[in-house]
Amino acid sequence: MTDQTHETLASVDLGSNSFHMLVAKVDAEGRLSKIDSLRESVRLGGGLTEDKLLTDEVQERGLQALKKFRQRLEALPQGSVRVAGTNTLRKARNASEFIKKATEVLGHPIEVISGREEARLIYLGVANGHSTQSGKRLIIDIGGGSTEMILGEGMDMELTESVSTGCVELSKRYFDDGQLTFERFERASLSAKLSILPVSQRLIQSTWEHTIGCSGTIKAIRRIVLERGWSPSGITLDSLYALRREMIKAGHVDKLSFESLKKSRRPVLAGGLADLIAVFEMLQIEEMEVSKQALREGLLYDLIGRMEKSDVREHTVQSFMNNWRIDRVQAEQVADLAVHFFHQVKGYWAKEKHQNLLRWAGLLHEIGLQISHRRYHRHGAYVLANADLAGFSFQEQQLLATLVLYHRRKCKPEQMVLPELLTEPIKRLCVLLRLAVLFCRQRVKTDLLPVRLEIDGDQVFLMCDAQWLEARALLKADLEKERKNLSYIGIQLNIVLEPQAADG
């Protein structure tokens, strides 16, 4: 690592069953060395009502867990900690309410990631832990509310999928009273199979040399399997059947007597086992090895990539530019000018962390043209809000889509559905992008324009060479129109004409 202030990094996984924290040191080669970890059983998914609302009780459990994490994380600088919310926070209608409180408690921003982004990060974590392994691998991660399945080789992923079935969700639905019967296991496994079916049909057409499981449920099952001697090393289907028989014999989760099973894992073990049996049967898996690494490590490796200028988000943007046949010359000219304006107002109006977001919006602002020129900004915003953008969190996608939506035409602040803390920064970034688009309207590659920005509160002073602007009647008319458009969001654009430098 070249930046000494970031040699200690941390990740927090806000899972549907447990909250996990990992603190690690990073060496010069980018390898992780764990120095601290903490797990708190929150069962966030169990506190999700039928109306998809997190109960006050489960929110409080989550906040109490994060208070413990903060004691370890508060010494780490901003940018060295990544916090990711997964399935339950994707589903909860009041997730933003919890995230706001959780961010205040933890002191670091929280990202909610999509299922496929979660799968990508899991693969990144596992693959780095098995870097010497050759051949194609299938990675399975059973979480509290979702199951991720990733097929890949080396560091390259061929398929990343996430389905909404997990140990908390199945345990709540089929084993809520703790009773363990064969019929309940069968119903739970059938439910999991129905969720897995679309993915399994794609996977069974492929081949792979290694099946690797990871995360709490699978690691807990492996410990029990080894404890009872049902398998010499990994997990087999017969060993899962043996575990199921033993649990049915016990009759109730409170009577489970496996030495290696933590008490907090008991209520969700049945759902996790039913899910894993479904995966084995559907994918015809013979044996599964188990990895120590998963999402938390993946978050850290991804963070290292961002610090070392190998940001997967940049690769995603470049790929979208190619796939959507975006005019690269025009896009780069707009993005460069927007960033040029950004540096002129940075510190007054914009924060460093938003620079990449503005640049990416500039590169992708015309993505909707491949659908239709009419209202292309709306088409582009829809694509960016709903596509699978590797490396981007839900919040980042929302912000990117908002910038693209408002890069032209009228700005309507009441339609900016953003968290309160982000509305003002994004509004200001919109101004920078809009001006860049306006100045590049001729679609002609030009040298640096004779314009600059100065800021005073919500007033923007566009300092412009008088003679240069007078020679561009269309641009002058566009700027006058833009003054009115920006007034709708409380921004006053002032056009200040300056004499040519040579005259002075």
Sign of CA dihedral 333, 335, 336, 338: positive
In angstroms, the CA 432 to CA 455 distance is 12
Mean local confidence (pLDDT), 29-42? 92
In angstroms, the CA 335 to CA 367 distance is 14
pLDDT for residue 5: 44
Output the six-digit token pair for 342: 């950004």
pLDDT for residue 175: 98
pLDDT band at 4 (very low <50, low <70, confident <90, very high): very low
Q: What are phi and psi of 24, to 5 degrees?
A: -145, 155
pLDDT digits (tens, 9 = 90+) for 128-172: 988 778 899 999 999 999 999 999 999 999 999 999 999 999 999
Mean local confidence (pLDDT), 8-30? 93
Output the six-digit token pair for 27: 């060496």
Instruction: Identify the H or E element spanning 361.
Output: helix 355-364
Output the six-digit token pair for 108: 């670091």
Complete domains list, the chain, with CATH: 4-113 (3.30.420.40), 131-290 (3.30.420.150), 311-448 (1.10.3210.10)
Output the six-digit token pair for 460: 């923007």
Q: Is the pLDDT of residue 460 over 50?
A: yes
Q: Is the pLDDT of residue 314 over 70?
A: yes
Q: Is the pLDDT of residue 319 over 60?
A: yes
Instruction: Identify the H or E element spanning 37.
Output: strand 32-41
Residues 6+ apart with CB under 8 A from 343: none
Q: Is the pLDDT of residue 503 over 80?
A: no
With 0-12 / 13-18 / 19 or more C-beta atoms within 10 angstroms meaning exposed / middle / buried, residue 274 is buried
In angstroms, the CA 137 to CA 157 distance is 10
In angstroms, the CA 243 to CA 221 distance is 8
Closest CA to 481 of 391, 410, 402: 410
CB 469 within 8 A of CB 475: yes
Percent residues over pLDDT 70 in the chain: 96
Instruction: Identify the H or E element spanning 73.
Output: helix 56-73
The residue among 334 and 448 whose pLDDT is bigger is 334
pLDDT for residue 419: 57
CB 98 within 8 A of CB 19: no
Output the six-digit token pair for 443: 């679609």
* Region at 40 (left for phi over 0; alpha for psi -120 to 50; beta for the rest): beta
Residues 6+ apart with CB under 8 A from 249: none
The residue among 418 and 198 whose pLDDT is bigger is 198
Residues 6+ apart with CB under 8 A from 12: 19, 20, 21, 22, 66, 69, 73, 81, 82, 83, 84, 106, 108, 296
Output the six-digit token pair for 60: 């409080």
pLDDT for residue 309: 81
In angstroms, the CA 191 to CA 185 distance is 10
pLDDT band at 36 (very low <50, low <70, confident <90, very high): very high
In angstroms, the CA 66 to CA 89 distance is 15
* Region at 184 (left for phi over 0; alpha for psi -120 to 50; beta for the rest): alpha
CB 12 within 8 A of CB 21: yes
pLDDT for residue 65: 97
Mean local confidence (pLDDT), 204-210? 94
CB 300 within 8 A of CB 249: no
Q: Is the pLDDT of residue 183 over 70?
A: yes
pLDDT digits (tens, 9 = 90+) for 251-301: 999 999 999 999 999 999 999 999 999 999 999 999 999 999 999 999 999
Question: How would you classify the pairing of strands 8-14 and 81-85?
Answer: parallel
Whole-prediction pTM: 0.90
In angstroms, the CA 15 to CA 87 distance is 7
pLDDT digits (tens, 9 = 90+) for 428-447: 999 999 999 999 998 888 77
pLDDT digits (tens, 9 = 90+) for 44-59: 999 999 999 999 999 9
pLDDT digits (tens, 9 = 90+) for 67-112: 999 999 999 998 999 999 999 999 999 999 999 999 999 999 999 9
Output the six-digit token pair for 493: 């654009």
Q: Give the DSSP letter of residue 503.
A: G
Q: Is the pLDDT of residue 414 over 80?
A: no
